[in-house]
Amino acid sequence: MNFKMLYIDGAWTPSASGAYIDVENPANQERFACVPAGNDADVDKAAKAAAAALPAWAATPLSERMEYMKKMLTYFKEMEPQLTDCIVKELGAPVSFAAASHVRYQYVRTQSYIDLAAGLPLVETLPQSTVYREPVGVVGCITPWNYPLGQIIQKVVPAILVGNTVVLKPSQHTPLAAYYLTEAFHKAGFPKGVFNLVTGRGSQIGNAMCDHPLIDMISFTGSTEAGVGVARRALATMKRISMELGGKSPCVILKGADYEGAARMCLDSIFLNSGQTCTALSRLVVPKDDKETVERLLLQLLPEYVVGDPTDPAVKVGPVASEHQFQTVCSYIQKGIDEGAALLAGGLPPAPEKGYYVYPTIFTDVTNDMIIAREEIFGPVLCVLTYDTEEEAATIANDTPYGLNAAVWGPKEQAVATARRIRSGNVYINDGPRDVTAPFGGFKHSGIGREGGMDGMLEFTEPQALFDCGL
């Protein structure tokens, strides 16, 4: 794969900038690849190609668009070994997790969108009108580094299926997985201009996309801070915006719950992907008089989260993704210590010699006014908080600017009642499974709009009502 190219108007093409960005392997700090540091001229070229392709693609019957996507999925699946290897190297994700979650689960998502497309309510008859759902137009997709493939699939597949054309800007920190996906689109023979890839820095490419008059929508996934800036900028040209942002998600354990099941789910959530998951259950909210029991369980389970070289299939926790992320996570661990939280496990790691490793860290005696309980750390750091009444548990769960994900463990009826009081887009009840067809997205500062399922597809449409009564 030649990572030194962009993909514009159906062809691999050099950037107008002539500059490159190195990609580092966080497990050994080696710079092993580089991608173009694209510029405004590249964005302009890609936006023009996408705009030129739009009318014909939007007019292509949905059944044909689905056939293209099925072909893309076939080529995508063929690249599993390369994609897994690439995500292990560019992100530091442990190989078993990378294969199962970062790569194979994306086939499930892609297939789900293809399956749902046939039943999309693209034409709806109301008593005195007919509502058609049209593609929004050219969609600029901006994605983060933590799930370099999954976050792209969640935007690009539904957007293109419903008739939009796309300019994708992956994160400059983990841009390589996008190249394999692009190759799958290329091999599937999509008409030129339907899918375009421009790599580069957020400040440059992201800004150019937000400003470009031919781009109709910005679908952004990333931090709340950057999302607010992107949204403001995109609104200057009245683009549609969709924002998938940060989280600080609670896992509430009620009396009578399966405490071990709850503890395991919470540790899986906060330690997998080295805590770099937007939905990570980073606040464990437990009954005060059962705190010691839960803490004992956490410590019993902790040795399962083996830290080390991500190429080792036995490893569950790899390095964090970059030196910047390492410093950020360390600064939060230091803040937790300074704020008076008690370290149950982990703590400040040694300075990195070969790889940015942070050991699974659990703070207990945390209160919701502490910075570590309020801000998204985005590392393998769990906060344990206690409550006296279920009322207080729900209050603590909601006492956050975010509202992306949550879990409630307890007797079914009580758990559902507590879940319904939590203001977040998803809530897991006990060991309820993930549903790929459900809408995903955030309340409050966790975002605007939804990805996944029918909602995630209709997000990329504009309704047009024809008042045709009597015609």
The tokens describing 294, both together, are 């839960």
Whichever of 4 and 444 has its CB closer to ligand NAD, that residue is 444
Which two tokens mark 394?
């729900």
The Cα 133–Cα 48 span in angstroms is 23
Q: Which is nearer to ligand NAD, 190 or 378 (CB)?
A: 378
244 is catalytic: yes
Nearer to ligand NAD, 72 or 278 (CB): 278
- Closest CB 156 distance from ligand NAD, rounded Å: 14
Angle, vertex CA 246, rays to CA 245 and CA 248, nearest 5: 150
Of 242 and 364, which CB lies nearer to ligand NAD in the complex structure?
242
What is the nearest approach in angstroms of ligand NAD to the Cβ of residue 19?
A: 15
Give phi and psi for 361, each to the nearest 5: -120, 135
Of residues 386, 384, 288, 397, the one with CA closest to residue 343: 384
DSSP 363-405: EES--TTSHHHHS---SSEEEEEEESSHHHHHHHHH-SSEES-
Please spell the DSSP secondary structure of 408-440, one letter per residue: EESSHHHHHHHHHHS-SS--EETTPPP-TTS-B
> Residue 431: which residues within 8 A CB-CB, separation 6 or more?
258, 261, 265
Q: Please list the helix, strand and coil fractions of the chain in percent, rounded to the nearest 5, in that order.
A: 40, 20, 35
Marked catalytic residue, from 24, 90, 183, 244? 244
Across the strands, what pairs with 428? 407
Question: Cβ of residue 429: shortest distance to ligand NAD, in angstroms?
Answer: 21
What is the nearest approach in angstroms of ligand NAD to the Cβ of residue 255? 31
Shortest approach of ligand NAD to residue 438 CB, angstroms? 13
Q: Given the rule CB under 6 A, which residues bind ligand NAD?
A: 142-147, 151, 169, 171-172, 202-203, 206-207, 221-223, 226, 229-230, 244-247, 278, 376, 378, 404, 442, 447
Please identify, using beta-carbon distances, which residue of 273 and 361 lies nearer to ligand NAD: 273
- Residues recognised as catalytic: 244
